Amino acid sequence: MVQLLPSILSADFARLADEVAAAERGGGTVIHVDIMDGHFVPNITIGPPVVKSLRKATKLPLDCHLMIENPDEFIPAFAEAGANWVSVHYEACRHLHRTLQLIEHHGMKPAVVLNPATRVELIRDILPMLHHVLIMSVNPGFGGQEFIPFSLQKIRRLAQLRQEMGLAFKIEVDGGVAHDTVAQVVQAGAELLVAGNAVFGAGQAERDARELLGAARKAAGE
Ligand code: DX5
Ligand code: ZN
């Protein structure tokens, strides 16, 4: 089953609870929260206090995408704030296995994110630990960027590895997922679809989430 994960990065931050509610009415089932520190990526967004407020505003799982350096230092604070899924960048973790254990020990679902230039094979040995793998289909830092086409090969490769290894982790895709790209993304093997601009960009989150999810389901044959 494909799932839509609205990314609040493109929402109106002054009306966050309403925006999340609209995206949920449109079929969003997990809220994707982009955490940026101005070091790992060239942008700054939000941290645990906003996650804590979101936790009160929705019952949906909160998928926290940490685009930060030294994520270990902040994992306890995200757990305390009510995060459910936590993904860390391969490129930001010196001791990735330890970081994934830390996430799990705090009762959250661990995931690894790969930047466009990072090869899928690099995480082969830790795939059994993961709830999902997030393939970045843009360079992280900003919403509304163009989908990088070779991401599709990475999704296919990861789906192949999953089958070969008999694993059940989910494949998530983030960046430029919109009406013109969603069918290819789903057909390549992804089931967790993050979308920011395509859901919130026009200020019609319910309608636009519904349409995007409809297109994704159609492509998946659901
Ligand atoms: C980018 C973020 C994404 C972003 C995607 O660094 O990780 O989650 O919100 O935005 P769109 O869907 O607009 O490409
Ligand atoms: Zn993200």
Render pLDDT for 22-51 as a digit per residue (tens, 0 to 9): 999 999 999 999 999 999 999 999 999 999
Domain count, the chain: 1
> pLDDT value at position 194?
99
User: pLDDT band at residue 204, thresholds of 50, 70 and 90?
Assistant: very high
> pLDDT value at position 62?
99
What's the rounded Cα separation, in Å, for the pair 209 and 22?
9
Residue 195 C-alpha to ligand 1 middle, in angstroms? Answer: 6
**pTM of the predicted model, to two decimals?**
0.98
Q: Which ligand is closest in space to the CA of residue 200?
A: 1
| Tens-place pLDDT, residues 149-182 | 999 999 999 999 999 999 999 999 999 999 999 9
**Ligand 1 pocket by C-beta < 6 Å: which residues?**
7, 9-10, 32, 34, 65, 138, 140-145, 174-177, 194-198
- For the question of residue 174 being annotated catalytic, the response is yes
Give the pair of three-digit tokens for residue 154.
């990475």
214 class by beta-carbon count within 10 Å (0-12 exposed, 13-18 middle, 19+ buried): middle
For residue 175, which atom of ligand 1 is closest to its CA?
14
What is the domain range of residue 65? 3-220
Q: Which ligand is closest in space to the CA of residue 8?
A: 1
For residue 65, which atom of ligand 1 is closest to its CA?
7
What's the rounded Cα separation, in Å, for the pair 122 and 144?
28
User: pLDDT band at residue 130, thresholds of 50, 70 and 90?
Assistant: very high
**At 139, which CATH number?**
3.20.20.70
Average pLDDT over the chain reads 98
Give the pair of three-digit tokens for residue 212.
């995007």
> pLDDT value at position 40?
98
Q: Quick one: what percent of the chain has pLDDT higher than 90?
A: 100
Q: Quick one: what percent of the chain has pLDDT higher than 70?
A: 100
DSSP letters for 148-206: -TTHHHHHHHHHHHHHHHT---EEEEESS-STTTHHHHHHHT--EEEESHHHHTTS-HH
Instruction: Name the residue with the closest Cα to ligand 1, atom 10.
Output: 143
